[in-house]
Amino acid sequence: MVDFTRLEDINFAGKTAMVRVDFNVPVNDGGGISDDTRLRAAVPTIKALQDKGAKIILMSHFGRPKGKVEPTMSLGFLTAPLAELLGSPVAFADSCVGADAKAKAQDLTSGDVLLLENTRFHSEETDNDSGFAQALAALGDVFVHDAFSASHRAQASSEGIGRILPSCAGLSMARELDHLSQALEHPKSPVLAVVGGAKVSTKIDLLQNLVTKLDALAIGGGMANTFLAALGHDVGKSLCEHDLKPLALKIMDAAKKANCSVLLPVDVVVAKDFAAHAPHRVCGLDDVAPDEMILDAGNQTVEQLADAIDRAKTLIWNGPLGAFEMVPFDTATVEAAQYAGRRVKEAGLIAVAGGGDTVAALKHAGAADMFTFISTAGGAFLEWMEGKPLPGVEILKQT
């Protein structure tokens, strides 16, 4: 597992904990929270710190105000729903630095919670300005990073402050790191990854890193078309990055050298129109007409993937296998995801998934709750999978 400082490694009694959370919550047309998952994710760490006798100051960004005060992007509306989840009051400072933040921080007693205003109201936040990080650090004694989703960018509230204060991972961050480490860094073999999505160009680094660490890699979605075309198959008018065919062959060659099997579709679902319920058919790889597009994997491909899942002890999933937003082109994604979920329960498969489209696809399939762990971190999850160091994680590592 990743060796990093945890909450239990630090004595918080009488200290002020500066906690980086991700409260960049989705809102509805009326300005209210449409999904409080991110608030709930922070509650265990906040409660643990309260139990430890800490004073708690929460930091987060919200939206993209680009360094200016935007009233519609204020975090003030979150104090009431957060207080309800905690069962205790939450104070609010109208800035994350300055006189009001200092005064309210000084007024805190053990167990109190203070939420600071949107850190991105200051351009120094995204610049990772050392002076701004110092101003944040001056409010507390210990930095607790509990927002894995914000760990892939070196910003003042997620990395800069960690260079100044003693730092540790919050419970949500620790859980994420433990599961990702279990899946990719110290996995139970054989390891299978399912990587789908629209374009190879968005996942070049991911694919190049994974083939050196896996026993098998299943490629689906629109990106599979580029690999099929590189192998000489006519993909009709399917989404395909023909200019990346040499790269696709290079990735397959690297996989072969690393003894990683690459699984591509063996049959496909095609249609002439990109629309839900469009007339469609299942065909072989060499039977795609010039006016047809590949929108999903066929039954034989799903069976091939199910066999690979049966052989695996660890599964990493990123991206859908087809145009899952449109019925019936969600079939392969739904069937394969549900099968993987059943293997978690029946065979002890470790199944970890992440990425925006992935979470939506697994929820659509009714399989999200069946997986061992679902990361909602998006960009940070992908960069971890690509093997890139994450600034907000690096500062937590024990030396």
CA 86/CA 276 separation, integer angstroms: 43
Residue 237 lies in a domain: yes
pLDDT at 1 over 60: no
Marked catalytic residue, from 38, 47, 104, 203: 38
Marked catalytic residue, from 379, 387, 388, 397: 379
Residues 32 and 166 in one domain: yes
What is the per-residue burial (b if ≥16 Cβ within 10 Å, else e) of 134-149? ebbbebbbbbbbbbbb
Residues 168 and 185 in one domain: no
Residue 391 lies in a domain: no
pLDDT at 398 over 80: no
Structure-block tokens of residue 11:
């004595």
CA 19/CA 41 separation, integer angstroms: 13
Residue 399 lies in a domain: no
Query: Where does a domain end: 147, 172, 197?
Result: 172
Marked catalytic residue, from 63, 356, 378, 387: 356
Q: How far is CA 388 from the centre of its chain?
A: 14
Residue 242 lies in a domain: yes
Residue 397 lies in a domain: no
Averaged pLDDT, 229-246: 97
Domains of the chain: total: 2
Burial of 283 (0-12, 13-18, 19+ CB in 10 A): middle
Residues 246 and 378 in one domain: yes
* Residue 209 banded pLDDT, cuts 50, 70, 90: very high
pLDDT at 296 over 50: yes
Q: DSSP string of 315-329?
A: EEEES-SS-TTSTTT
Query: Where does a domain end: 172, 204, 237?
Result: 172
pLDDT at 274 over 90: yes
pLDDT digits (tens, 9 = 90+) for 40-73: 999 999 999 999 999 999 999 999 999 999 999 9
Query: Where does a domain end: 118, 148, 172?
Result: 172
Beta bridge partners of 269: 282, 296
- Pair 325, 196: CB distance under 8 Å: no
Query: What CATH number should be reported for the domain holding residue 122?
Result: 3.40.50.1260
CA 270/CA 387 separation, integer angstroms: 35
Choose among 240, 144, 260, 161: nearest CA to 200.
Answer: 240
Q: Active-site residue 199, yes or no?
A: yes
- Note the pLDDT of residue 397: 86
Label the pairing between strands 142-145 and 167-169.
parallel
pLDDT at 217 over 60: yes
pTM of the model: 0.87
Q: Active-site residue 356, yes or no?
A: yes
Q: Active-site residue 378, yes or no?
A: no
Marked catalytic residue, from 153, 199, 213, 342: 199
Residues 143 and 196 in one domain: no
Residues 339 and 241 in one domain: yes
pLDDT digits (tens, 9 = 90+) for 375-390: 988 888 888 888 889 9
- Note the pLDDT of residue 399: 44
Range of the domain at 50: 7-172
* Residue 35 banded pLDDT, cuts 50, 70, 90: confident
Residue 390 lies in a domain: no
* Residue 2 banded pLDDT, cuts 50, 70, 90: low
CA 394/CA 399 separation, integer angstroms: 10
Peptide bond into 328 cis (omega under 30): yes
Q: Active-site residue 53, yes or no?
A: no
Alpha helices in 94-129 (DSSP H): 99-106, 123-126
pLDDT digits (tens, 9 = 90+) for 311-353: 999 999 999 999 999 999 999 999 999 999 999 999 999 999 9
Residue 393 lies in a domain: no
